Amino acid sequence: MPKTPSNKLFNLINSLSGSEKRYFKLFANKNQTGKYSKYTLLFDAIDAQEISDDEALRKVIYPNQEIQSRKFSELKNYLYELVLKSLKGFDEKTSIEYKLKGMLLNIKVLFKRSRFEDCIEMMQKAKKLVVKYEAFEHNLELLAWEKKIAYTKIDVNFMDKELDRIQTEEKICLSQLTQLSIYRNIFFKVLIRSKQDALLRSQEKVNEMHELVRNPIMDDINKANSHRARIVFYRTKSIYYYAILNYENFHVYGEKLLEEMERYPHMLKEDVSKYISALSNFTYSCTLLNKYDNVDKCLDKFQNIKTLTHDDELKIHRQYYQNKFNVCIKKGNFEEGFKAMKKHLNEVEKFNQDAFERNSFYLSYFYIYFGSGDYNKALESLNQLLNLPKTTERKDIQSLARILNLIIHFEIGNTLLLESLLRSTYRFLSKRNRLYGFEKSVLTFIQKSERLRSAKEMRKAFIELKKEFENLSQNPSDNVMLKYFNFIAWLDSKIENKTFAEAVKSHYLKNLPKD
């Protein structure tokens, strides 16, 4: 047998949910005789490990025995296959997709034995599921079986009576699948562009995004001919409006997406992952629009989602805390944010660190540490963000990180570093065509600040920079950066001699919706 790398089995077992692990134990006990205890022993030993350690596992499996590398490798390989078999069985019991595939295989088995009436009975059961879950692909297979069985039975009366109905259903299914494919292609193009630049700052980029959704099929939700199509329509619209900075419509379509999903709770039992993402985006839209009552309700919803997989648990953790941090940051409640961050970091330990995507939190960590006045920790988080491998994703975040790097070194008083940081930041932004008015203002201010000696001169420079930012806020391409980090509040803290947290709280209270 080929060797199974240690981390392959380790990662598989650590990706399982609690119910999947319990199912494996039952499956192994039921399907193995004689040797099964060794497999479950190895399974439990791996499950208990925080990091993969083959030497420790060998001692558990072969205590007081000479280590048998080949035998141990074969044991791991067999356990890997056994876990996969148990997961197939688990999915067959919990997933409509697997259930339908099993029913179609049963129809094939019965057909080969000429059990045509049994085939038809099985097809009728499958048909109900196909309609309920919009399983268009499987419906086409069922329709093909209807014709095949009638032809084999030489059932001319059935063919004469039902052929038109079958052809009509096939056309409808094909139309639904074709439309779904078109929607998905548009969605993925919008998603890719939004991942590269979550918030579009140039008219050229905005026009490119407009072009992606300039398809008649995206004009009206009533053109969507299925629930699955409506889901993709709303997801696309939501991402699109966020990317072009239209937060009102980002909120509107996010709410419509949730409503559409919640109207079909049986579909959520099949795949809750998209619902978690939709809830996260809607929560963020509420934060952007200062709808804080809705934010609290959404955060409560996260806690009540019934997860299907360990990955769902990870996703809920990630989206819940990202939104929790966002609202703490927006309110200037950095003390609460710091407590939430400590709780989050403790909970993170139970997840597979490769799957966790800690890099998606670095900016939040920076913001919370900065708001708490811990500049060293803030700089540490920012450096982790700046040192990420080059990627096509989130060019806007990388640009912001370099501006924040200047700000925090300015705060710490690293005047010797600022000159070289200014040059490297300028080169980075110039090469990527990201030197907008906002970036130029910050670079000019940092450069000028080196020549200012008195507190009065510095305060005057802060006031001038604030006026520049207020003017730039009228320009969408610059205003977006002012929303990523509350630079105006930072300037107010300097001008009014108060903490950054106090300045952010003042902004929050000032922008609360009036009754």
pLDDT in 10s for each residue of the chain, 515 residues: 444 445 888 888 888 888 888 888 888 877 665 544 778 888 888 888 878 888 888 888 877 777 667 778 888 888 999 999 888 888 877 789 888 999 999 999 999 999 999 999 999 999 999 999 999 999 999 999 999 999 998 888 888 889 999 999 999 999 999 999 999 999 999 998 887 765 565 677 788 889 999 999 999 999 999 999 999 999 999 999 998 889 999 999 999 999 999 999 999 888 899 999 999 999 999 999 989 889 999 999 998 998 878 788 889 999 999 999 999 999 999 999 999 999 999 988 777 655 566 778 899 999 999 999 999 999 999 998 888 776 545 566 788 889 999 999 999 888 888 889 999 999 988 887 777 788 889 899 988 888 887 889 999 999 999 999 888 887 766 667 777 789 999 999 999 999 999 999 999 988 776 65
Q: Is 186 exposed, middle or buried (0-12, 13-18, 19+ CB in 10 A)?
A: buried
8 Å CB contact between 330 and 285: no
Query: Two tokens at 274?
Result: 């998209």
Within a domain: residue 445? yes
Instruction: Give residue 4's pLDDT.
Output: 47
Quote the pTM value.
0.79
How many structural domains comprise the chain? 2
Instruction: Give residue 137's pLDDT.
Output: 95
In sign, the C-alpha dihedral spanning 349, 353, 355, 358 is positive
8 Å CB contact between 232 and 256: no
Rg of the chain over Cα atoms, rounded to whole angstroms, equals 29
Could you tell me which of 403, 422, 497 has the C-alpha nearest to residue 455? 497
Helix 415-431 with 437-449: angle, nearest 10 deg:
160
Could you tell me which of 233, 135, 228 has the C-alpha nearest to residue 183? 233
8 Å CB contact between 193 and 216: no
Report CA-CA distances (Å) from 492 to 438, 443, 464, 466: 17, 19, 12, 8
Kindly state the DSSP code that residue 252 receives in the 8-state scheme: H
8 Å CB contact between 141 and 104: yes
Domain that holds residue 511: 420-515
Instruction: Give residue 395's pLDDT.
Output: 66
Within a domain: residue 261? no
Within a domain: residue 499? yes
Within a domain: residue 501? yes
**Who contacts 458 (Cβ-Cβ below 8 Å, separation ≥6)?**
449, 452, 494
Answer with the one of 74, 94, 114 that is the final residue of a domain: 94
Could you tell me which of 90, 119, 114 has the C-alpha nearest to residue 104? 119
8 Å CB contact between 328 and 340: yes
Answer with the one of 76, 94, 112 that is the final residue of a domain: 94
Answer with the one of 94, 116, 147 that is the final residue of a domain: 94
Within a domain: residue 380? no
